[in-house]
Every structure is written in structure tokens, then in C-alpha cells.
Structure 1
Amino acid sequence: MIRQFTGWPDQALDILLRLDGEPSNVVREEHRNDRERLVRRPMIALLNDVADANSAYADYSVWSYGKHTWWWQHQTATIRLARKVEIGLRFDLDGLHVKGAWHYPDPGQVQLYRAAVADKGSGPALARAIDTLRHKGYEISGDVMKVIPRGYSPQHERADLLRHRSVVVGRTLEHDDWLVTAKALDWVLDTAADLNPMLSWFAQHVTVPEDP
């Protein structure tokens, strides 16, 4: 299948640079069409190619512009894998950032997460997945409690994971010259493959069945 994504043109960063700071409504409107063509549409092409490569990534949204200037300065997109489990992408003056996340959990998800982390059968798999990502240079973050939650031993072998109420793992494309070529797509696909063991774990163990 022919790929749609060929990279972000050099002019895309020029447009974002003009929208940097606190641009007025007049300035934003002057650049709306160019921003759509040079910044947002390449992201749509990228996500279409990602979905073609793996149907599991077909449920996605490429966000448009909000009232706040931040949304004009950062082109974001989300690939939904399960309830509150997703891959997020952001293109801006700093480059292309991709993250895998379980965050903003629904009621009951944190309890499911803790039980699965503490379990001798399921817990080690998440620990291995996150350790692998850390060793590959991914940044690990999230909403982390200062102390271990009530009911769990501070000496638990996965106490560090038990303190999490969300988990976010991400990295930024280091080769800026790749942004203007189709290599950025291959990097996104490689990143998604790296994130898959962790995100699949969350989809299996933390997803709460939705009401009919």
C-alpha cells in the first residue's frame, strides 16, 4: 500500500514559529489555512499510515484548534487502544513526541491496577515491560503517590509501581531531519511496537467493562 505520509515540510516549523508566544486572534486566523495544510494534514496522513500498518491503531483522533493558543502551537493526536489506554502524539517546535499512557483513570481502574501489579502472575510482566522501556531510553512518569497505598507492604518487590495512579512512558524523535521525511513514520511504528507490551498489559488488566 502506498504511504500517504512523506514528512512535515520545512514550512511547518515556520508556521509554528509565527504562532509562538501569545499570537493575537488576527495572527492565528491569518495562518489558519497554512497551519491546516502544513501541520495538521501531515499528522492525519501519518495516523492513516499507522492504522494501515496495524488495524489496532485505527481508532484515532487528530485534534483541531482550540481557543487557547497552546492548541495552535502543538499538533496533537490520540490513538485509543482501550478505555483510558492510549498512544499520544505531539508535533511542535521541539519535534515529535510519542507517549504510551494509562491515565485519567475511571473509578475502579486504580484498584484493578494495584491488584494486578501486586499479583505474582500478572505483576512481573508489567515490571519487565517498563524496565525494558527504561533501558531503551524512554522517560517514565505519571501520578505517583509519596507512600505506598494502604493495604500493601512497603517491602513489596513492586512497591514503586504500586505507588502509581497513572503511568506515562514517552520519548521524542532525536533525528530532526527525519521529521521532513517518511522516516518519522517508521520511528512512530517502532515506538508503538516498543510500547505494545506495556499497553497490552493495561488493556488486559485495568480496563473496566463499560455499561451497555
Structure 2
Amino acid sequence: MPEFTGFPTEALIFYDGLEADNSKAYWSDHRDQYEKAVRGPMTVLLAELEPEFGESHLFRPHRDVRFAKDKSPYKTAIGAYCTGGGYVQVSASGLMVASGYWQTAADQVERLRAAVADDVTGPKLESVVAGLRADGYEISGSRLKTRPRGHDADHPRIDLLRHRTLTVHREFGEPPWLAEPECAQQVAGAWRRMRVLRDWLDRHVGPTRLPQDRRR
């Protein structure tokens, strides 16, 4: 496996063009650019991160358009994750790194809200969120527009109680080190910093215990 040297400018140029012309013709004409500047570097990056962050998965470039109104055939970003780290993405906007729980079943949402409402674990999460925000990270996730059933609208952690999923991410854009080997250390450093939220979620929410047919 070759050493990771970063994502070249050609990677962002490729996605600039794909956003303007999301077609099979564009993809076919620029397939070599995608392989060399996008997929190749991401594959090597994941191999470098796996020893610390676990098994990796690279998402396919094709969109599932079966039930979508937007029939554009290709994703306008390359995304991947490591099971013990988080998500990493490169697009025309540059680099984005994330972690947390993107999907939750009903039992996980129930445990999440119980932990947020608890007077011990809830303030701990508040501290985690405040620390991440102070370091330039953004907290996001699927949320209710109103208060969840069974909780008062004036609860001190009502904003966190609205969450069905809870994630943290940082948009790095196109820093000079994106095209250098240092990019791997930056992704690893972000995942290490985000781990405090993932640890809280693993401890107080954990995986779903519902059978497969009841998880939605």
C-alpha cells in the first residue's frame, strides 16, 4: 500500500465539475481523475487510520435514486468511516470530519432522552457539548421542532432533549495541509477530540436491542 500524501486540488476540481454536470458522461470522461485524486487517496487514508480506529468502509459513489425526487446518479462527495473513529468526507467544499450516532431506533432515542434528563448524566453531556463547541466543532442531528412528550418545555436541557440523533462535525474546508500527509493526523486528531461525545453515547445509549423489523 502506498503512503498517504493528502488529497490533491484535483479532487475538489472533480467535484466542482460533478456538481455542475452530474451525468454519466461527465463521470465517464473524468473517471481517471476520480480514481487517482479522490478514491485512491481516500483508500490509502483509511488504511493508515485503521490500526487506531478500526475497520473502515468506503461508501459507493452512486446514489440510490429509486425513491428520490432528485435522480442525479452520483454523490457529490466521497464519504467513508472507521468503526472506532467516525466519518470523513471530501467534496468541492473540502474536508469534513464527523462522529456520533447518525441513526437511532426507538429504544435508543428513549435511552438518549432519559440520560439527557438525568441530573448526573445530563449535565455531563452539556459539558461535553460546550467543550466541543468551544474548540470549533458543531453539534447537530435529527431533532423535534417541539418538546418531546413527557418533558417540560422549560427543561434546562430542552434543546438536547429534542434530539433523536446526536452528532458532532467540523468543516475544515481546504487548508494547505489537505494536500499533504498531515491530513491524516488532522483527521485522527479530530476523531480523538470527538471521542468524548461518542464515549458518552456508547455508555448511556449504546446499540439498539430491538429486532431488525422494529428498528424504524
Question: Structure 2 length normalisation: TM-score?
Answer: 0.83
- Following TM superposition, by how much is the alpha carbon of 1:69 offset from its aligned partner in structure 2, in angstroms? 4.0
Q: 1:58 aligns with which of 34, 54, 60?
A: 54
- Equivalent position SS for 2:83: strand
Residues 159 and 19 of structure 1: CA distance in aligned 2, closer, same or farther (over 3 Å): closer
Counterpart in the other structure of 2:107? 108
The percent of aligned pairs where both chains have the same amino acid is 30
In 2, Cα distance between equivalents of 1:70 and 1:123:
40
- Structure 1 segments of 4 or more deviating over 6 A? none
Q: CA RMSD in A?
A: 2.3
- Following TM superposition, by how much is the alpha carbon of 1:135 offset from its aligned partner in structure 2, in angstroms? 1.0
Instruction: Write the letter of the residue equivalent to 1:60.
Output: S
Residues 150 and 21 of structure 1: CA distance in aligned 2, closer, same or farther (over 3 Å): same
Counterpart in the other structure of 1:160? 159
In 1, Cα distance between equivalents of 2:2 and 2:108:
37
Which ranges in structure 2 are unaligned for 5 or more consecutive residues? 64-71
CA contact (8 A) 1:23 1:69 kept: yes
Counterpart in the other structure of 1:181? 180
Q: 1:74 aligns with which of 74, 77, 87?
A: 77
- Following TM superposition, by how much is the alpha carbon of 1:197 offset from its aligned partner in structure 2, in angstroms? 0.7
With 18-27 and 32-41 compared, the bigger mean Cα shift is at 18-27
Q: Tell whether 2:148 aligns with 1:145.
A: no
In 1, Cα distance between equivalents of 2:190 and 2:73:
28
Q: 1:145-197 deviations in whole A, cap 9, x for unaligned?
A: 23221222333332221111112221111552111101211111111111101
In 2, Cα distance between equivalents of 1:12 and 1:103:
26
Question: Structure 1 length normalisation: TM-score?
Answer: 0.85
